[in-house]
Structure 1
Amino acid sequence: MKLKTIKPAKPIKKAIPSKIAKKSEIKQVKDKYIELYDFAPSGYFTISKVGEIIELNLSGANMLGIERSLLKNRRFDFFISKESKLGFNLFIAKIFNSKVKETCELTLTINGDIQTYVHISGIASANGEECFLTMIDISNLKNNEEKLINSRTEWIETFDLIPDMITILDVNHRIVRANKASIEKLGISPQDLTGLNCYQCIHGKQESPSFCPHSLMLKDGKEHIADFHEQKLGMDLLVSVTPIKDKNGKITGSVHIARDITERKKKENELKKLNRTLNALSKSSQEMIHAKDEVHYLNEVCKIIINNCGYAMVWVGYAENDKDKTVRPVAFSGFEEGYLDTLKISWADSERGKGPTGTAIRTAKPAMCKDMTIDPAFKPWRYDAIKRGYASSIVFPLVNDSKAFGAITIYSIEPDSFSKEEVELLSELANDLAYGIISIRSRIAQKIAEEALIRSEEKYRLLFNEMIDGFAFHEVILNNDGEPCDYRFLSVNPAFEKMTGLKTNDIIGKTVLEVLPDTEIYWIEKYGEVALSGKSIEFENYSSPLQKHFKVCSFSPQKGFFAVIFEDITIRKNTEKAILERDEKLQKYAEELKESLATKDKFYKIIAHDLKNPFISLIGASELLYGNVEKFDTGKIAKLAKILNDSAKSGYEMLLNLLEWARSQTGSLVFNPEKINIKKLTKNYSNLIEYSNNKNINLNFNIDDDLHVIADKNMLDTILRNLIGNSLKFTPKGGEIIISTKEENNSVIIFVKDTGVGIAKSDLDKLFRTDIKFSLPGTEHEEGTGLGLLLCKEFVEKHGGKIWVESEENKGCTFYFTLCN
């Protein structure tokens, strides 16, 4: 291989920098280092072994609050607070002794009184005569830690104020945390309760029951709701279980909320019982209309009461007028087992006549035995009654003309089993039964009268004059076409005169159209058909001229003639009408009550669902902060602290509104109206003003200094805070909110007007309603439940005022409400 000769290169001019250029470059580097050193965010200090400041950067001087030139050669521990001086001296000694990097946290005293938290790290120099300190201001971090502790304390206090039983469960059914209500109702201390399986301490079982909502939630990861009766606690519970998930979406437990619905269940059962009694009343009325045999009718009514109302036994007894004034059982239904044979009841004022049945017949008023085990008046029958499972009874007299001729007795297996409303319905049923018995007897008497009329003229005449039903004998009058057009009075009995008010001497020989010109053609056609066909009829109709209802039986003993036996049923018809109207009212009340309960249940479920959101945010953010507090910088920690603070405020506001609404619903909220200066009241709204400043919203209180209203101060404050807070939530940055008033007649109209996002016309009717959840996030994603507006409506109406809203989408809202001035 041939080597190529390379000629030496010629010297290049200016290839080697001059000494002046090198000095300039060194100066530039030094200046840049000094600039970086001075304006670094941390404070840098060089401290002598005796504690004097040898050197420091600008950031360090700013932290100590004195010019840098005045700090050199001053003792560093002059700026250490009294509480931290001992720790600082030990820290400095450790640096010079260990020769390795050391750290500590302490407080500085700036300008004599300002406390600053700092983190200091330091290491000794190589020669051991000085040390280098790096100082970071951690005041914000310390303040955020304190706020976090306060937020957690507020959350715990709120958690314990909720009246529902709330527990946090893990995936193994163990109780992680329980609120005050749970601890009090379970009767177990917080220390003993934590770690117990919920099915052991609540249900008293060794495994979770099949209906357990927590078990169902663990299977499908969804929220579950169940209601059941818990024997161990002696209450009915409505339980909702909401899953708790970690940041990866894995279920770690649940929020278990149990509400005591014992009273609601009791009301529902009472409503069912009333409906059954109402149904029995309706069926017994139908049976009364169609009944022909008295004993059959009595037994059917007893069966209806047993089958529809669920009582143990029912029996009917008639009062005998014998020497001992005995009560004779004539009909019964239910579990009797020879009980009636042992009764030997009397309606006399004696030992066996002072029981509920004898008392009811003797006084013609209802009587009751609330508890057969202790009622002294029931002693003669106690053993046989308890033996058959009876516990209480109620007796209604069967009355005619203000005198009891018998009684219907109803037995229940529960003590004190008959509510006021139920007693009213059963009393009405007993009245119908008495009326039915009298009606059947009247019909039988009527039939006997008809047969007697055919058998004997003499007997007919006697019956004619003495019968209680009206009787009349007529001749039908035909027109030229052979059709009935009128009829003539031939004879009438005294009862006819009494019922119609028409006298015999004034009507005999005259036609009905002469006596009663307004007689409906219906009567003439019906009677004409009987007279010409010989077919008997029975019907009920209303006579307009006499303004009465009659039940009529008509037959023809001879062609062209007809006889009429009639009964004044005006009272019965009015009673039936009243029964029908009451039935309709009770049915309407039952439906309205059922709808009201369903609406509140739906509302509670909505609130329970919304209530979990702030708790989930609190738990998630706190767990994230707790597990990473040493890794996160101050910005990340501040962000998480804001999430915790916002969630705690949201949950607290939601719970306050919920508690206020619950107090208004249960009647426990005291209404205390007084004369209030609105302008003075609104001067306490610093939190709302701070809220508006944070969102750069102009909050304008345009209210006269001397304007007063008559109102409950707390309620008015709640109304204004909710409406103003609502406007702040839905008004974007840079907007304006005006709170103003105007007087109209004897009222003051207060309105809150904003330049916010407004409400669509289709959504306006969803406001102020419990059966529809209508809540939108604010302009800064603020959350709400819509409960605040419900509270406003409740409180305004409590003052006799009204509340309404005017809005146009994207142009803002104006909420108005009225108060008395």
Structure 2
Amino acid sequence: MTDKLQKDDINKDETVKKTLTSYEGGYQSLFEDTPFSIWVVDFSDTKSYIEELNKKGIRDFKTFFTEDPQFYSTCISLMNVIDVNQATVELYQAKNKEDIIQHINEVFCKDSLELFFEGIISIAEGKREFEGETTTLTLKGNEISTHIRFFAASGFEESLAKVFVAICDITDRKKIEKELQKEQNKTQKYLGIAGVIIIALNSKGEITLINQKGCQTLGYEEQELIGKNWFDTFLPAQIKEEVKSVFQKLMVGDIEPVKYYENPILIKNGKERIIAWHNSVLKDDKGKIIGILSSGEDVTERKHAENTLIRLNRTLKVLIECNEALVRITNESELLKRICQIIVDGGYRLAWVGYAENNEKKSVTPVAQAGFEEGYLDTLNITWADEVRGRGPTGKAIRNREPSIARNILVDPNFEPWRKEASKRGYGSSIALPLIADDRVFGALNIYASEPNAFDFDEIYMLTSLAEDLTYGINTIHGRLEQKKAKEKLTKQIELIDSINTILKESLRFKTDVDVAQMCLIFAEELTDSKFGFIGEINKDGRHDTIALSNPGWEACTMEKTTAIRLLKNMEIRGIWGEVLKNGKTLIENDPKSHPSSVGTPVGHPRLTSFLGVPLFYAGKTFGMIAVANKELGYKSDDQHAIETLSTAFVEALMNKRAELKLESAKETLLEAQKIAHIGNWNWNIITNELAWSDEIYRIFGLAPQEFGATYEAFLNSVHPDDREFVTKSVNKALNNKKPYSIDHRIVLPDGTHRIVHELAEVTFNKDDKPIRMLGTVQDITELKLIENELKKHRDNLEELVLDRTKELETINEQLKKEINQRRVAEKNLEQFVYAVSHELRTPISVLLQSLSNLEDYGDKMSELLKIELMKTISRNTELLNELVEDLLLASRMDNTIIDLKWGICKPLDILEDVLNQMEPRRRAREIIINLDVDKDIQILGDAKRIAQIFRIFIDNAIKYSKNNSSVLIKAIDNYKGKFNPQSIDGVLIQFCDNGIGIRKEDVPYLFKKFFRTKDVKDIPGTGLGLPIAKTLTNYHQGEIYLESEYGKGTIFSIFLPKLEKPP
């Protein structure tokens, strides 16, 4: 209705304009008869006044009008009303025209003057027209609402000397509008207080009406919403076209209206709200559909609560079923798969578990999955590093140790690497939950949903609990596995300990070191479930000798027996097992063919499927290995640990057995040496008064062990009565003065025979300086004393004869003197020999006795290192004793017996290296540097053992007679043709050069005589047999020894050995 009234007023204004135009044309009567108030006003003076104010800088006349009261009266006075029509007189209740013109200031009050002058100023500024609404007063004071329109008459646009002012009375319309506004306000109030959205759309889908609730919901002011297209502005893209199409069909009547439906809308901040709509169509008077009126309720929170409840019930169900699975399933892989399946069955689209790898890329490996996957996991290539493929939910969850969510996969920037594949499979959002055990993140549980924003706080909380339960389940399974492994490991450890104990215990009763090795190999195979194995060591040639071979391995071998046996000794070190010996490191190879050092196996050898080799160490060096093979599932670190531990015990048992065998050999050698030299040893425990004798002492004293009381007093009973006091004083003096003693005394054998013995003894004291033990040797020197006496008696007789003979017997006398001198020399040599042999044998014997005694008394308290050193001492002195006995036996035979040689091809370098290795302790003790210049390809025909004996004699002399820290050169010249080969035959010259004390010229002729020793070496141990033996053995090889020496500077012994084609 308001629009209709406004249209009528506009029509009236057009009529007024036509009337005024007619007035200008001379139609005065029409001007007068017009029912609208028309004023003809001259505003030229007013315009001039305004322009003058403009020149003074006044631009804002509205403010100026408000602030300057004179402006109002001035403008009124300058305004000249030319004419008004009769309608004006009537409208303003004037008596006549003059009455209204005179009281014009009463008609236009201050409020109306604002519009009045606004119109004047607009026209003055060049506008063609101006109009507006205001309130004016009749001359009787009645207020009327008017619509005023200003426009300059044609030709007066610049001067404004004639301006028409048309005034229409709009009081009735304003009253109607006021009433309508009241009704509208009332309606709006009702709509505003309504708790639902009220909205009207026209047929184009434009908003024509919306209440306050609708504005609040959408986030806009009303004026921003009116005229907006509802579908284009407020519907999400995914439903816009569908809903718009339905609306258009509704507007043309193709479908019946839907009275209730729900759909999401977009509000100003971009978020979605879910609205439940009740709809009714709007029709015009003819029944045509012109729009739709809808009331809508915002059900977002309710829907969210419903969906949340549904999801939480679903998640709770998943949680309950997962907990049941955790209790029931004991296999990790099965558990992970079942948990994923339960999650998917609970309504999620995909679930998978990934484990974090601690490799360089920090990759994540999927280990279980369920749901609509379609190869998605193969495309992931996820990491947990802080880089592009590690910034998705999975990588962040593992890295940051907290849940990570991709709320909308389609727009999440961190999901870019996987978005394409994820969208193909309909994934809308995802969550990754870290799996944390022992303060370490080992993986993540990943869950995908179809819809975006699928995970709220409560659901995240429950899924986090699920991840924690899953972690507990995995840990429990790991714990069971660890417990099982620990139990198996404990069983293995018990087996290992039993094996070690058995080896150490049983090795004591085994006769050989091979028996010890064979038993150890059996245990090694049992501990590792191996099919076969072997134990071997590096021989002196740097090749491999097998000590023990498993029976299963031997039985599985189809090689020709002689070939197989040949391969057990002196094998070249190569292949996979060779790497263990070369590198001194354990090797596990479960794919032997792929190893770079693999050389395959001989034809007939069992096929090798897996291998474990452990090096054997002794004295800091690799000397052998234990190898096992063909464990069905391959070898692991536990197997390595078992064999390495077993190897330590085996080495100890093996070396103990070898030391034991060596000790037995040493004892036998000692007994043999004691027999030869008639020397026995004794051990007197002063604390217990127990006396232990060697077999030789029993022989010297003519007693049997069971007949002897084995006490010091029993020993004294065997001493000659006339010598007991002397012996007792000598023993007491040694005990009191803490010094060794050396005495000769007589003993009485059970058959009454008297023997003469030489005794040497030393006392051992404890930390309190009290004597606890005395060790000594006894040598039967009866024959020596008899010889001495006989020689003395013979010498006295001869001297007496010489004095009694006459000069005619001078010739005989001279011969007798020569005989006497020879006998004296022989006597002296024999005395020197006896002393030397006694001294040379006594030193190693004493050391051996002391070492053996220490082992017996304190072995269980010694460290392994001390035991090793003690065993080395025993071994070294045993070898020395063997050498001395060998020299003595050889010296005793070489004058009367032809020595048989074992001829064969020998390499001097190999022999020299063996001898130097045996003599290493002596060299090291003197800090002698030995330089070898011998070609490895030199060969000669000879007895390797006897040639080694020759070399040992010269090397021993070079070490003994050289200064400490000096050097010795050993060199060989093949095909030598120099001065030491006068016959120029094919042969080898071997020289031993030292910088020692040298040899006096006068001593040179006697050097190769038995028992001869120069006065310069009387304080250096030796028997005087070495060089004679060397010369004899060299002669046996058709060779010669040459000597070059300068006293005080050094000596060169040159041995020329011909290259014989066959034994002589």
TM-score under structure 1 normalisation? 0.31
| Larger Cα-atom Rg | 2
Q: RCO higher in 1 or 2 (8 Å CA, sep ≥ 6)?
A: 1
